[in-house]
Homo-oligomer: A and B are copies of this chain.
Amino acid sequence: MKKVNVRKPGAGRPRDEDVTRQIRAAAMELGLESGFDGLSIEAVAAHAGVGKTTIYRRWRNVWSIVADAVLDDVAKLAPLQEQSTARGSLAASMRLAARYFRGPRGKVLRALIGRAQVDRTLHKALIEQWLLARRNVTREFVRRGIAKGELRPDLDPDIVIDALYGPLYHQLLLPYDSGHGDLSDAYVDALVETVFAGLERKGE
Interfacial residues, chain A to chain B (CB-CB below 8 A): 35-37, 87, 110-111, 113-119, 123, 126-127, 131-132, 135, 149-153, 155-156, 158-160, 162-171, 173-180, 187, 190-191, 194-202, 204
Q: By the criterion CB–CB under 8 Å, are A176 and B135 in contact? A: yes
A134 to chain B, nearest CB (A): 10
Q: By the criterion CB–CB under 8 Å, are B202 and A152 in contact? A: yes
Across the A-B interface, the 8 shortest Cβ-Cβ residue pairs: A198-B198, A114-B117, A166-B167, A166-B166, A162-B167, A166-B170, A37-B118, A114-B114
Q: CA separation between A181 and B198, bound complex, in Å?
A: 24
Q: By the criterion CB–CB under 8 Å, are B159 and A191 in contact? A: yes
Q: A113-B117, A166-B170 are in contact. Are A151 and B190 (CB under 8 A)?
A: no
